[in-house]
Chains A and B, each alone.
Chain A
């Protein structure tokens, strides 16, 4: 196993980075990224027609091929989450098309109409600490077609668990995105690709520890823990290029998702095992 890891590490180093989206220093997006470094796309096909988009509290890489983000990055601090929680309880927002994406590559509200899929936030609005950032998070550039039970139960619970890490006093770097695995995919209106899986990677600098939640985009409520290195192998994106090899290969124990209630409360054996280990 150790030999295999060493081999993997060697192969990773040999990869070429196909895109390194550059966020201008003045737009503030580099502050959402660990050491100001954007995730590195390592699969050539993923790198085509990509557009970096900088929101006030989210850095996004949008794909005009899938018409979804490939990743949405956020830097959560205890102060940010406290501010987010002190916003008025009642808020009105609007899901909206992203004007910064070229017309033909832009996902539209009509793509999702009567699709049976939720518009699932990658960076959740619950992490946004100002009214402007809240509204920005409703851009379709931050959305994927997400199974409703996944979005409304499991994923909601994962988002809440990650916020709790920040609320307990640790800053957290978060990268969330879709995975498109297999020979065939589903597509809304032949335009917006439906991800097969969803990941949320976290790095907690105070513990120098990282891992990713990885879940199928379905109603099973199943999820697994991946190391950052394993996530890179599955998804083709190095979400935290600045982490050293040991941290990348060792998955921290992730806090158990804290969903509000279940559509289907079946959990995978692996998930149950992790839950019983506690936080």
Chain B
């Protein structure tokens, strides 16, 4: 699984209908996932464990963990270049 938590803005993991998207300031996890009591369920659970292990490791051992992440940079207001003349 290619996923370097908080290290880039590109890594994306899909697990069934669950999406995990990496950013430098946050990781988004959304969608849904059923862990069935079978081999597929075990595989998915292990993948989640690996992923969360990486995330916890980075948060615990990465440098300078702040109390609270910096707020998002607000977008700039611009004139609509597509606006009707």
Contact = CB atoms under 8 A, between A and B. Distances in A.
B67 interface: no
Contacts of A189: 73, 76
Contacts of B3: 92
Nearest to B81: A65
Given A115-B72, A187-B75, A89 B44 contact: yes
A90 B75 contact: no
Contacts, number: 121
Nearest to A134: B14
A190 B78 contact: yes
A116 B9 contact: no
A23 interface: no
- Dominant secondary structure of chain A at its interface with chain B: mixed
Given A180-B82, A186-B77, A92 B72 contact: no
Interface in B1-59: 1-3, 8-17, 19, 21, 23-25, 28, 30-32, 40, 43-44, 47
Contact of B13 (A43, A92, A114): A92
Contacts of B11: 92, 94
A236 B83 CA distance: 11
B68 interface: no
A115 B73 contact: yes
B64 to A, nearest CB: 16
A184 B82 CA distance: 10
Interface string A75-96: 0000000000000011111111
A118 interface: yes
A116 B40 CA distance: 34
Interface of B: 1-3, 8-17, 19, 21, 23-25, 28, 30-32, 40, 43-44, 47, 70, 72-85
Closest 3 CB pairs of A and B: A116-B72, A186-B75, A152-B30
